[in-house]
Amino acid sequence: MNEIEFLSYNHIIDVFSVLIIIGCIFIFHRARKIYMSKKQMPLEIKFPLYIAITHFLFAILEIAQTIIYIVCIECRKNAYNIMSHIIGVILIVNLLLGATIAIEVWKILKNNFEVNFSWGKKDYKLWLMALTVSVIFEFGDEYSQLFGKELFFIRFDLVISFVFFLVTIYCLIRIHIRLNKLDSNIYESDIYNSKKLKFYILVFCFQWVSFF
């Protein structure tokens, strides 16, 4: 791929990035309105909000990556590689957050608890965990050799992503099964909110299918 084709490809991504930013701003505005009115952040809002934060950062960094490549001619290679690693971290954080919240939804439904949380003062631990794991796998050795044979190579960032993707799929299936078993007369509002969450998680999974 020559430089013209490369820049054309990046400009197409930048157009989609702008659309992503607009969509994320809408989600931020909606989440703010709900929090200001209820002083709570239900999971059916928290899930798209947290995913939107990572998408917003991803889109901003994608645009910045193209600008750096065009402007910083002398250091474009190093700067572009650094930005690529940061984007990789954001993508893994996105997947870890989605998988973790999917696990939490399944646990709540399994125990017949209400799917409704406050803003979450301890949610920083979730972000810290996701960020730490992402940095370890993104900035670690790209390949690891096992058993001293060249035949066995593992991209650990891809492995951890695929594992959490499978976990999310499993939780989605369990959520679907559990929703069909709940009594609609007792858990009517929770079933409605959980179905919205199930749809969000399904869209989230479709988003990640293209990466594998």
Q: Please tell me the predicted confidence (pLDDT) of residue 180.
A: 77
| CB of 130 closer than 8 Å to CB of 97 | yes
pTM of the model: 0.81
Structure tokens that stand for 172 in this block: 């989605």
- Could you tell me the fold of the domain covering 3-209? Rhopdopsin 7-helix transmembrane proteins (1.20.1070)
What pLDDT sits at residue 53?
Answer: 93
Phi, psi of 211 (to 5 degrees): -80, -20
- Which is it for the CA torsion 36, 39, 42, 48, positive or negative? positive
56/66 Cα distance (integer angstroms): 16
Per-residue pLDDT of the chain (212 residues; tens, 9 = 90+): 566 666 676 777 778 888 999 999 999 998 888 878 777 777 778 888 889 999 999 999 888 888 877 777 666 677 777 888 888 888 889 988 888 888 888 877 777 665 544 445 667 777 888 888 888 777 765 544 444 444 444 566 677 788 888 988 998 888 888 877 766 666 555 666 777 788 888 888 888 887 66
pLDDT of amino acid 162 = 84
Q: How far apart are CA 60 and CA 51, in angstroms?
A: 14
Which residues touch 157 (CB under 8 Å, ≥6 apart)? 88, 92, 137, 138, 140, 142
Cα 58 to Cα 88: distance, rounded to the nearest angstrom:
9
Residue 153 has a pLDDT of 46
Q: What are the DSSP calls for the chain, one per residue?
A: --HHHHHHHHHHHHHHHHHHHHHHHHHHHHHHHHHHHHS---HHHHHHHHHHHHHHHHHHHHHHHHHHHHH-STTHHHHHHHHHHHHHHHHHHHHHHHHHHHHHHHHHHHTT--S---S-TTHHHHHHHHHHHHHHHHHS-S-EE-TT-TT-EE-HHHHHHHHHHHHHHHHHHHHHHHHHHS-TTTSHHHHHHHHHHHHHHHHHHHHHHTT-
Give the model's pLDDT for residue 52: 92
pLDDT at res. 148: 47
- The reported pLDDT for the residue numbered 3 is 62
CA–CA gap between residue 173 and residue 168 (Å, rounded): 9
Q: Where are the domains of the chain?
A: 3-209
Q: CA-based Rg of the chain, rounded to a whole angstrom? A: 20
